[in-house]
């Protein structure tokens, strides 16, 4: 059974970003108590993007409106052993109480994507991705013509296999996922040790890119 992946996109009210991060630290701490269900939770703070601060690809372009606010923004990646594990964890009292708290600190309701793995690797076991803050994290949405996503996945399988074998020091995660609510797109998540490692991959065409730094991990 494939892991179940959740991305949450948060837009804090002005001056509330640190309070949101403090509340999320409690969520991360709770995740450490349930290793059987939770593979990992990571919290990332957006530091730049490719245009004006609007996050145009969040949750697709047709069924869900994008964030309308400016930077900063926060993204959370949660990986569970299965969808039932996700449901059980997200309904736990500790999780719910923390979520209720941070929702009051946001400009608008959080947006959630439920994702399935397509190809690549989320993290390298025992890598700095687990514990190191200030890693260079890049998320992108790749638009495809209807019906061509499977062909795109096959192409990326070759790329991700090469990256996994040849960039063991600099590239700590290189993953592609699919969102059933956005069937004509793939989403990528890349985690680099630093900007220099990212520069190897910096030539991109037609991608909407968001850049983050890591601020918390359940592996700490």
Which CATH number characterizes residue 192's domain? Answer: 3.30.70.100
Which pLDDT score is estimated for 1?
61
Which pLDDT score is estimated for 132?
57
Chain centroid to Cα 138, Å, comes to 9
User: In this predicted structure, which of 25-29, 145-149, 175-179 has the lowest mean pLDDT?
Assistant: 25-29
Encoded tokens for 118: 């397509």
Residue 191 has pLDDT above 70, yes or no: yes
Which pLDDT score is estimated for 114?
93
Work out the average pLDDT over 108-136: 77
pLDDT tens digits, residue range 4-40? 999 988 888 888 989 999 888 888 888 888 888 999 8
How many Å apart are CA 210 and CA 99, to the nearest integer?
24
DSSP bridge pairs for 219: none
Count CB-CB contacts under 10 A for residue 185: 19
Alpha carbon distance, N-terminus to C-terminus of the chain: 26
Q: How many domains does the chain have?
A: 1
- For the CA atoms of 207, 208, 212, 217, the dihedral, rounded to the nearest 10 degrees, stands at -80
User: In this predicted structure, which of 4-8, 40-44, 72-76 has the lowest mean pLDDT?
Assistant: 72-76
Work out the average pLDDT over 167-178: 89
Between residues 176 and 72, the one the model is more confident about: 176
pLDDT band at residue 73 using 50, 70 and 90 as cut-offs: confident
Per-chain mean pLDDT for the chain:
80
How many Å apart are CA 199 and CA 210, to the nearest integer?
15
Encoded tokens for 116: 């399935």
Encoded tokens for 127: 């890598």
Tell how many helices (H) and how many strands (E) occur in the chain.
5, 8
For 76, the domain range is 4-217
Burial class (CB in 10 A: 0-12, 13-18, 19+), 16: middle
Q: Are 93 and 26 in contact (CB under 8 A)?
A: no
Which pLDDT score is estimated for 53?
41
Which pLDDT score is estimated for 147?
93
pLDDT band at residue 51 using 50, 70 and 90 as cut-offs: very low
Instruction: Provide the residue count of the chain.
Output: 220
pTM of the model as a whole:
0.84
Chain centroid to Cα 204, Å, comes to 19
How many Å apart are CA 162 and CA 181, to the nearest integer?
29
Q: What percent of the chain has pLDDT over 90?
A: 27
User: In this predicted structure, which of 64-73, 109-118, 155-164 has the lowest mean pLDDT?
Assistant: 64-73
Name every residue whose Cβ is closer than 8 Å to that of residue 196 and which is 6 or more positions away in sequence: 170
């Amino acid at each position: 059974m494939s892991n179940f992946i959740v991305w949450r996109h948060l837009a804090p009210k002005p001056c509330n970003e640190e309070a949101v991060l403090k509340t999320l630290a409690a969520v991360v701490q709770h995740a450490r108590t349930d290793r059987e269900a939770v593979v990992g939770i990571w919290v990332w703070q957006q530091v730049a993007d490719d245009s004006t601060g609007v996050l145009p690809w969040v949750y697709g372009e047709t069924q869900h409106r994008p964030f309308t606010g400016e930077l900063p923004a926060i993204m959370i990646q949660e990986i569970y052993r299965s969808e039932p594990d996700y449901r059980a964890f997200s309904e736990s009292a500790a999780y719910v109480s923390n979520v209720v708290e941070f929702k009051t600190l946001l400009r608008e309701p959080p947006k959630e994507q439920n994702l399935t793995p397509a190809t690549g690797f989320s993290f390298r076991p025992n890598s700095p991705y687990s514990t190191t803050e200030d890693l260079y994290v890049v998320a992108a949405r790749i638009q495809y013509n209807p019906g061509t996503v499977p062909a795109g996945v096959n192409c990326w399988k070759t790329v991700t296999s090469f990256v996994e074998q040849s960039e063991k020091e600099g590239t700590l995660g290189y993953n592609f996922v699919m969102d059933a609510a956005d069937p004509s797109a793939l989403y990528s998540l890349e985690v680099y040790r630093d900007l220099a490692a990212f520069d190897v991959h910096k030539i991109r065409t037609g991608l909407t890119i968001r850049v983050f730094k890591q601020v918390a991990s359940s592996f700490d």
